[in-house]
Amino acid sequence: MKLFIELILFLGLFTLMVRIAAGDNGINALYFYPKEFRETAYRRGLADRENVRRERRSFLIFFSLVLLAALLISIHLNKPENFMQAYLQSLLFLEIMNRYDGIVIDRIWVSSSRLWVIKGMEDIAYVKSWKQILKERIKLSVIWLVLAAVVAGCVMLTGGIK
């Protein structure tokens, strides 16, 4: 039950950070949109490519560090007995986040909220297709297999293993 609550809090933090990034308009988080959509926004003069690139980099660094800290704290609180337990818990959090991002954020929230509709881009599809989501999720799953080992190693190095 404790792990379930931690997962819910982790996903809540994830969602809150995405919402903060978007602010009051999806244009603030243009870097989340499919590439074709962004390219059209640049051509229409709605955004500057270099500014979006800088904002994306800044957000992703902050986002990654906050989520990494939350993940490390959660694993430390659960006091894994060995590297494998820390690895599996890390992988569980990362993979559930991966699917949550694809299904709940990219499909459900983006398609049902006016927040993500950008003025001047209403005629362009902005919701990622299932094919795009699946491709992205598979790629991230491979990355998470490696990152989970790095996180588990950090837990070991910081004395989080019993």
In a domain, 53, yes or no: yes
Counting the structural domains of the chain, the total is 1
Owning domain of residue 67: 2-157
Those residues whose C-beta lies under 8 Å from the C-beta of residue 81, and which sit 6 or more positions away, are 161, 162
In a domain, 149, yes or no: yes
In a domain, 13, yes or no: yes
Question: Which runs of consecutive H residues, i.e. helices, occur in the chain?
Answer: 2-22, 35-43, 49-78, 83-100, 110-112, 130-157
> pLDDT by residue (tens digit) across 88-147?
999 999 999 999 999 999 999 999 999 999 999 999 888 999 999 999 999 999 999 999
In a domain, 162, yes or no: no
Question: Given pLDDT bands bounded at 50, 70 and 90, which one contains residue 15?
Answer: very high
